[in-house]
Amino acid sequence: MATNESSGISRRGLLAAAGALAAVPLVGTAYAQTETPSATPASGVAAGDIPHRMLGSLEVSAVGLGVQNMSRTYQTTIPTRSQMHDIIRAAHERGVTFFDAAEAYGPWEVERILGEAVEGFRDDIVIATKFGWNIDQETGGRLPGYNSRPDHIKVVVDNMLKRLNTDRIDLLYQHRVDPEVPIEEVAGAIKDLMAEGKVLNWGMCEMGLNTLRRAHAEQPLAAVQSEYSMLWRGPENEVLATCEELGIGFVPWSPLGVGFMTGAIDENTRFAEGDIRGAEGRFSPENLHNNLQMVEIARDWAERKLAAPGQIALAWLMAQRPWIVPIPGTTQMAHMIENVGATSVEFTADELNELNAAVAAIEVQGLRLPEPVLAMSGTEAPLP
């Protein structure tokens, strides 16, 4: 923060998994096939002493916890449920108040894990979750496309409340824009849910900017969630400026570049069968050499700040705007603690200018997501 190879993933498989992969708080700890220890991390934040930020009128800890991979890691392994509960509870003990889930993660299972873990301190935290994929509400099966029809949204929210073991959702996102449903109808459903006390705030993920403006005019948003990191700086083009104009907070998913910015991936990394990163152009063997320059920047600054590279990447994000709140995810206790420690890393104005210039000088090569998944971002909703 500032003080002044072939992946083995088919197109069909990508589309089927998109609900869990296209807009998730991707972790900085579910690495390729082995995990690389970080440098000694910054530890200047006492337990429970994390600064807070505002997403619109919603107050949250400056770093949140994404829980998406707590039901299935990138390598398709299934984490131990009790250990995931422990990580969520330990994050709360360290001052994290912002926990991010989605109906599509599992589907459903991540919401259950989160609801189980926070039962003793539900009223102390902010729970965010998401609707928008076409998921059968009886079976949990993924159906083609999206579903943001107002009647469906209301059924989804009722089911979310049961899984999360709560009576309200603090922040409800539309996970992706439904190209068949006017955003005014979606906002109308949100208004109804707010009137019933079931939803307190809402947001959108990876939407088209015209749709964002229309949605905000109908019912003001608290937050936008999109991918943003040193490795992918797309929101700097227009999204951040629009959020600033409208008074909307910004929540970066994949703030550590799916583990890349921690230094866990190198030129020899190859991904396990089913790991979506194997289908992302930025991690292809021909692009890794160039893109690893960004990791070297984080390593250099980590030495200067007595921090870990991932902490530099998170602190850099928080330094861009005071209303940016990254949500790194993890299935490892040590990595959660390290991520929370990023709030103690600060840059002077001169240091931030120097770091920004170094980041901007590197042109990241390769697509951030497979093309079928990318096509789901930037969608504009139809007019009423």
SS3 327: coil
pLDDT greater than 60 at residue 353: yes
CA gap 307, 61 in Å, rounded? 20
By percentage, how much of the chain surpasses pLDDT 70?
87
Contact 183, 215 (CB under 8 A): yes
User: Domain segments of the chain: what residues?
Assistant: 11-374
pLDDT at site 99: 98
- Lowest-confidence region among 92-106, 235-249, 255-269: 255-269
Domain covering 11-374, topology: TIM Barrel (3.20.20)
The pLDDT confidence band at residue 12, using thresholds 50, 70 and 90, is very low
User: What average pLDDT does the chain have?
Assistant: 89
Residue 300 pLDDT class (50, 70, 90 cuts): very high
Closest CA to 218 of 180, 190, 179: 190
- The more confident residue out of 373 and 28 is 373
Between residues 35 and 186, the one the model is more confident about: 186
* Spatial distance between the Cα atoms of 207 and 280, rounded to a whole number of angstroms: 21
Pairing of strands 65-66, 98-100: parallel
Sign of torsion over alpha carbons 181, 182, 188, 190: positive
- Asked about 105 being catalytic, the answer comes back as yes
CA distance 262 to 282: 15
Contact 180, 134 (CB under 8 A): no
CB 78 within 8 A of CB 336: no
For 69-85, what is the mean pLDDT?
Answer: 86
The structure's pTM equals 0.90
Q: Is the pLDDT of residue 245 over 90?
A: yes
pLDDT digits (tens, 9 = 90+) for 327-347: 999 999 999 999 999 999 999
Is 304 in contact with 246 (CB distance < 8 Å)? no
Say whether pLDDT at 72 is over 90: no
Q: Give pLDDT tens digits for 151-200.
A: 999 999 999 999 999 999 999 999 999 999 999 999 999 999 999 999 99
Residue 100, pLDDT > 50, answer yes
Which pLDDT score is estimated for 330?
95
For the segment 100-121, the average pLDDT, to the nearest whole number, is 97
Q: Say if residue 7's pLDDT is above 80.
A: no
What confidence score (pLDDT) does residue 378 get?
A: 97
pLDDT at 112 over 90: yes
pLDDT of residue 276: 80
pLDDT, greater one: 22 or 213:
213
103 pLDDT higher than 50 = yes
Q: Token pair of 290, please?
A: 């160039």
Confidence of residue 46 (pLDDT cuts 50, 70, 90): low
The model's confidence at residue 284, banded by pLDDT at 50, 70 and 90, is very high
Q: Which of 31, 105, 146, 173 is catalytic?
A: 105
**48: pLDDT strictly greater than 80:** no
**How far apart are the C-alpha atoms of 60 and 2, rounded to whole Å?**
18
Percent of the chain with pLDDT over 90: 81
Rounded CA separation 378/374 (Å)? 9
In this prediction, residue 34 carries a pLDDT of 31
- Confidence band for 73, pLDDT divided at 50, 70 and 90: confident
Calculate Rg over the CA atoms of the chain.
19
34 backbone dihedrals φ, ψ, rounded to 5°:
-140, 165
At residue 134, φ and ψ (nearest 5 deg) are -90, 90
CA distances from 27 to 89, 157, 181, 261, 264 (A): 18, 25, 31, 11, 12
The token pair at 20 is: 């869990």
Residue 22 has pLDDT above 80, yes or no: no
